[in-house]
Structure 1
Amino acid sequence: MKNITLTVLLFLTSFLTYSAGLSLNKTRIIFNEGDKSASITFKNNVDSPFLVQNEIYNVDNQKSDFFVITPSIFRVEKNSTFMMRIFPASLNLLPKDRESVFYFSSRAIPPKRNDEKSSGKLSIVTNLVIKLYYRPENLPMTAKDSYEKISVNYANNTLTVNNPTPYYTTLVDMKVNNTRKIKNKMVAPYSNITIPDMVGLNSFSWRIMNDYGGTTKPFIFESKAKK
């Protein structure tokens, strides 16, 4: 029987950077216009080596040619680290008035044991994924200033989150009426998202994920019905 490989995508809020002794040293990558490169380190705290394959995808889950990863594939020994570098390529084709977002993926493939080669046992492939933001120069506000610009509207039992800024904004720790929790959501620049089925909403609170993977103070919206 041929060996079967099971790919496990791991998510934390949006994505995971750690699982079972395998991790990346960052929760996101901010690549500013003019940067010559960015670095990221793969950490292997397991008593086994791994073959690691790196790729960058766009929001449509297609491989991107805007960045180059060196090396794109490597072996990381047990209980060790390995640093990768990301270089720009054709970034002049990206928008200048707003951020662009990509997904950096590191797939860790374990070595096949003798019993796996002769049986149908699963070989678990861990896929660590984080967001990569390309940030142009001379945007009209800083990322920190953009947090206060996010607004919320509530009508017809639907919540609308508006992002009038040039930054991708990820809302976390969202709660309705201080009890019901909502999964994290990312709002693209100069756009909005809607959250339906918000019957009986009196208040809505959220935090925003910052450049370092931390969160802001809570923001609170109160509906007119409560007021």
Structure 2
Amino acid sequence: MSKAISYRIFKSAALVGALLASFSASADIVISGTRVIYNEKDKDEMVRLENKGGKPLLVQTWIDKGKENVDPAKLFVPFTLTPPVFRIEPKRGQTLRIMYTQGAALPADRESVFWLNVLEIPPKLPEDKSNVQNLLQLAFKTRIKLFYRPANLAGNAIDAIKELKWSIVNDDNHVYLKAKNNSPYYVSFSDASFTSAGKKYSVAIKMLPPMSEETFTVSGLKSGSTGKVDYVAINDFGGSVTRSVTL
């Protein structure tokens, strides 16, 4: 497929972005899983797609580094994804194959994260549009995380969730909450909060990279405060791991 065609398909998703936020609808293409773990020792990884809808769909797939609005034709990632464009009939499936190409060396001491994109385009309207004046067609894009996991990393992904270090930091009359990840694994969150003196504060954390820390301002918290952090992280299988840490 040419870059021009690829860009036109991708651009259609951007044009309907505002519509997706305004109308209640759902995608027909379902991905079997909420994340992909690509282990270094594996030759490839397979991802299964299913068309749960009642109409055939054109699907485009690609992998990016986190910038979701970049034209796929201009992206470079060290993976080959096949097939890049295909048609799925109603109630049928398609398997995607992801292969690490080693075109660019990735860190060997920690995970790397990418994003798998699945864009579904509805079929073209019939030439006679007299009966479809009120029909709105939407393109849907689904993105899930793709983690590249080098061999021989210390510990494991579950321990990374359990062993996060949380602390309260006082600095220049401000109070901060700090989360620190000493592991070589990414930790993804679905929810996090801090409770102190009976008041619950939301913590806006989505993902903490390996060997990193993130600091959050907790408005209204006083110096010397104590409390409890409650967080829900997501494991390799998309399940929830709930933890509480008293500070």
TM-score interval (norm. to shorter):
0.7 to 0.9
| Residue equivalent to 1:193 | 214
Structure 2, unpaired ranges of 5+: 1-11
Task: Look up the match of 1:159.
Answer: 177
Deviations 1:14-58 (A, max 9, x none): xxxx94433100100000002111111111111111100000001
**1:214 to 2:242 alignment:** no
Q: Distance in 2 between matches of 1:219 and 1:54?
A: 38
1:97 is matched with which residue?
A: 109
More strand by share: 1
> How far apart are the structure 2 equivalents of 1:41 and 1:193?
34
Corresponding residue number in structure 1 for 2:78: 66
- Measured against aligned partners, the alpha-carbon deviations of 1:133-191 in whole angstroms (never above 9, x if no partner) come to 00001112111222232111212321111111101111232122274444451011111
Gaps of 5+ in 1: 11-17, 223-227
Q: Structure with the greater relative contact order (CA < 8 A, sep ≥ 6): 1 or 2? A: 1
1:221 deviates by 3.1
Q: Distance in 2 between matches of 1:64 and 1:196?
A: 36
- Verify the 8 A CA contact 1:8 1:126 in the aligned structure 2: no
Range with bigger deviation, 100-109 or 43-52: 43-52
Question: Which of 122, 142, 145 is 1:128 aligned to?
Answer: 142
Distance 1:198 1:139 in 2: 37
Q: Share of identical aligned residues, percent?
A: 30
Q: What is the match of residue 204 of structure 1?
A: 229
The whole-number CA distance in structure 2 between the counterparts of 1:187 and 1:9 is 31
Q: Which residue of 2 aligns with 1:79?
A: 91
Q: 1:190 to 1:68 in 2, by over 3 A?
A: same
Counterpart in the other structure of 2:8: none
One-letter amino acid matched to 2:166? V
Structure 1: how far apart are the matches of 2:124 and 2:134?
12
The answer to whether the Cα contact below 8 Å between 1:9 and 1:128 also exists between their aligned partners in 2 is no
> As a proportion of its length, which structure holds more helix?
2
Relative to structure 1, is the Cα distance of residues 174 and 9 closer, same or farther in structure 2, using a 3 angstrom cutoff? farther
Question: What secondary structure, in the 3-state scheme, does the structure 1 residue paired with 2:220 have?
Answer: coil
Give me the whole-angstrom Cα distance separating, in 1, the residues matched to 2:96 and 2:216. Answer: 38
CA RMSD of aligned residues (A): 2.8
Say whether residues 1:50 and 2:57 are aligned partners.
Answer: yes
Matched residues in 2 for 1:160 and 1:68: separation? 37
Aligned residues: 212
Name the CA shift for 1:20/1:108 in 2 (closer, same or farther; >3 Å): closer
Amino acid in the other structure paired with 1:36 = K
The question of whether the paired residues in 2 share the 8 Å contact of 1:9 and 1:127 is answered with no
